[in-house]
Amino acid sequence: MSVADGGVLPPEADAEAKADAADLIAAPPPAASGVQHPWSDPPAEGAVTRIADGVLWLRLPLPMRLDHVNCYALRDDDGWTIVDTGFDTRRTRAIWQTLLDGPLAGAPVVRVLATHQHPDHIGLAGWFQSRGAALLTSRTAWLFARMLALDVQDRATAEQVDFWRHAGMDPDRLAARMAERPWNTRDVTHPLPLGYRRVRDGDVLRLGGRDWRAATGEGHAAEHLTLWSQDDDLVIGGDQLLPGISPNLGVYPTEPDADPVGDWIASCRRMAALAQDRHLVLPGHKLPFTGLPARLAQLADNHESALTRLAAALADTPRTAVGCFDLLFRRRIADAEYGLALVEAVAHINALRRRGRVWPAGQTPDGGLLWRA
């Protein structure tokens, strides 16, 4: 239920800057959930898979354990609309150039639609804009993306340090974080110019020869866009609608009292009113899938179960957020996952706080906040 980072990125890279999908809290296997995958394999690097008339699926690499992001190309008379972009790296730009010269040849990229602000989804939007494309996204996504790209830090801020300490980060790890340069969104995001086209919940967009109704979700990313075709069964899900893994639901120093778990559960229930078994979901990671109603129920139930488990344990013994790792994730958290596990644990504490089920119960000698149910 968080990104498992690794690869060339620092193992303790800032979770907020690169949070995306992976499964710390394990989900039931797809066969148990009713989820089916019409394609068993993704497109090869630099190639595409045709999903439907005017809709192509392509995949870009990520230098993390979750090693890819799905992007989609929608064909209209005036050119292509690209849905999500990948990181801004030399390799990713080279792959895009191969795609533009090959499968997408003969038409320009005239629009980029970013489902949300995380850099694997919006990292190259500015690059496409510099080549003449317009950017479409939600207002919150654009503001967050531009703010994070401009906010470059050489050392952790005082607010970050206090947040980690209160969550229960051990003193040695805290000292190491304070001494190192944090990973910044700018590291993998092309500069975003001023100007974008806002997409609101309920808007209808004409893309790829179809009318798509936008529905926004919360929890993983604020005002996350999903698109529901009004002409056939296609749904563009981004990281709001994923098979097999759950997206990161984290709390960060920017909004330490946020309740992304509650927001996520509410979004799953709201989208359940739209979902049909016939829908073919085009997700931001993993493989396209059907069985969306069951998957939405599963995504919400996984978190409800985690909250129940956490509350029962905290009724016996107060713990910090970090002290709840074993309760929430039921496996050892590696160093590469620690930052994202921390923000997930705080998110579940905050959800219980919002429901009136936990309250503060003092501090550890190192300044970690203890919580009791």
Over the stretch 279-318, which tens digit does the pLDDT of each residue have?
A: 999 999 999 999 999 999 999 999 999 999 999 999 999 9
How does pLDDT run across 128-171, given as a tens digit for each residue? 999 999 999 999 999 999 999 899 999 999 999 999 999 999 99
Separation CA 138–CA 116 (nearest Å): 8
Q: Tell me the CA distances in angstroms from 146 to 17, 18, 126, 137, one per residue in order.
A: 12, 14, 10, 12
How many other CB atoms sit within 10 Å of the CB of residue 44? 10
Q: How far apart are CA 244 and CA 23, in angstroms?
A: 8
User: Tokens at residue 344, please?
Assistant: 């997930």
Cα-flanking dihedrals φ and ψ of residue 334, to 5°? Answer: -75, 165
Please determine, for residue 16, whether its predicted confidence score (pLDDT) is greater than 90: no
Q: Does residue 33 have a pLDDT over 80?
A: no
Through-space distance between the first and last CA atoms of the chain, rounded to whole angstroms: 23
In the chain, what are the domains? 15-356 (3.60.15.10)
Q: What is the mean pLDDT of the chain?
A: 92
> How many helices (H) and strands (E) would you count in the chain?
12, 14
pLDDT above 90 for 101? yes
* Better pLDDT: 16 or 267: 267
Side chain identity at residue 259, one-letter code: D
pLDDT at 28: 53
Q: What is the mean pLDDT of residues 320-349?
A: 94
What is the mean pLDDT of the segment spanning 322-345? 93
- Per-residue pLDDT, 27: 53
pTM for this predicted structure:
0.92
Q: Print burial letters for 331-351: b (CB count within 10 Å at least 16), e (below 16).
A: eebeebbbbbbbbbbbbbbbb
Tokens of 339: 């930052």
Helices (H), the chain: 15-18, 30-33, 90-101, 119-122, 125-130, 139-150, 158-167, 171-179, 260-272, 292-314, 325-329, 338-354
According to the model, what pLDDT value does residue 26 have? 53
| 186-239 pLDDT per residue, tens | 999 999 999 999 999 999 999 999 999 999 999 999 999 999 999 999 999 999
| pLDDT exceeds cutoff 70 at 23 | no
What is the band of 34 on the pLDDT scale with cuts at 50, 70, 90?
confident
Dihedral angle computed from the Cα positions of residues 54, 48, 247 and 325, in that order, rounded to the nearest 10 degrees: 170
pLDDT band at 70 (very low <50, low <70, confident <90, very high): very high
